[in-house]
Amino acid sequence: MSGNRTARTAANQAAKERTVAPRAARGARTARIDRETTETRVALCLTLDGRGRYSVRTGIRFLDHMLELFARHGAFDLTVEATGDLDVDQHHTVEDIGIVLGEAVAAALGSKRGINRAGYFVMPMDETLGVAAVDLSGRVHAVTDLKLRARLVGDLQAELIADFFDGFAQGARANVHVKVLYGRSSHHRVEAVFKAFARALRVACSRDRQLGRMLPSTKELL
């Protein structure tokens, strides 16, 4: 019995991440991904052409709030069920949710033919102004500039917001820039950026009727 347990442990370490291939519903820009590692388990379902409906449980209430408003402002339908080693740190959970959300966007888009590909949005949140730009280019890069002084925003470790966007860029194979131009409240800074990001992504994912089925790249590859 102990030998079997040892073999399972070795296999688990050798394949630290086990990712189930994304499954998109026929005829709909929808993807569901179940991703499990030794540190986290994330089950996520995303519909790009949704109505802003959501059900989010990550174990981090402020992150739940940001993902909920992401869904509403992007008009995405989003379900997230995540468990992680929060007793150790929030890092694994936050980053892995970003990765899975990005993978779901990529899976739901499919070939990317006929989409805008890029989008940006400037979002006011009371005294704060946030900006986001997204390019679904196939090139991975993320820049997060929120200038947060607080260690925590709600119950979320502030430094991990950059890891969320890094993870999203990795999963979606996208170029993501989010920035706060000015603002006093740390809560407002993060909220303005998530709202701007949602609306920028909504534009990038939207279909361009003039393009038809054309790929939005002269390289004919994204």
Instruction: Give CA–CA dist 17/91, Å, rounded.
Output: 16
The answer to whether 130 and 122 have CB atoms below 8 angstroms apart is yes
Domain that holds residue 72: 16-205
Give a yes or no: residue 175 inside a domain. Answer: yes
How many domains does the chain contain in total? 1
Q: What is the DSSP letter of 116?
A: -
The predicted structure's pLDDT at residue 216: 67
Closest CA to 49 of 115, 2, 125, 142: 115
Higher pLDDT, 212 or 51: 51
Give the model confidence (pLDDT) of 98-117 as tens digits.
999 999 999 999 989 999 99
The DSSP bridge partners found for residue 83 are 41
Would you say residue 27 has pLDDT above 80? no
Would you say residue 93 has pLDDT above 60? yes
Percent of the chain with pLDDT over 90: 80
The answer to whether 146 and 78 have CB atoms below 8 angstroms apart is no
Percent of the chain with pLDDT over 70: 85
Give a yes or no: residue 153 inside a domain. Answer: yes
> If you average pLDDT over residues 159-171, what whole number do you get?
98
Give a yes or no: residue 222 inside a domain. Answer: no
Give a yes or no: residue 144 inside a domain. Answer: yes
Would you say residue 89 has pLDDT above 50? yes
Would you say residue 16 has pLDDT above 80? no
Full-model pTM? 0.86
Give a yes or no: residue 3 inside a domain. Answer: no
Give a yes or no: residue 95 inside a domain. Answer: yes
**Mean of all residue pLDDT scores within the chain:** 89
Which CATH number is 171's domain given?
3.30.230.40
Would you say residue 195 has pLDDT above 70? yes
Would you say residue 221 has pLDDT above 90? no
> If you average pLDDT over residues 216-221, what whole number do you get?
69
Give a yes or no: residue 187 inside a domain. Answer: yes
The answer to whether 185 and 128 have CB atoms below 8 angstroms apart is yes
Q: What is the 3-state secondary structure (H, E, C) of 132-147?
A: EEEECCCCCEEEEECC
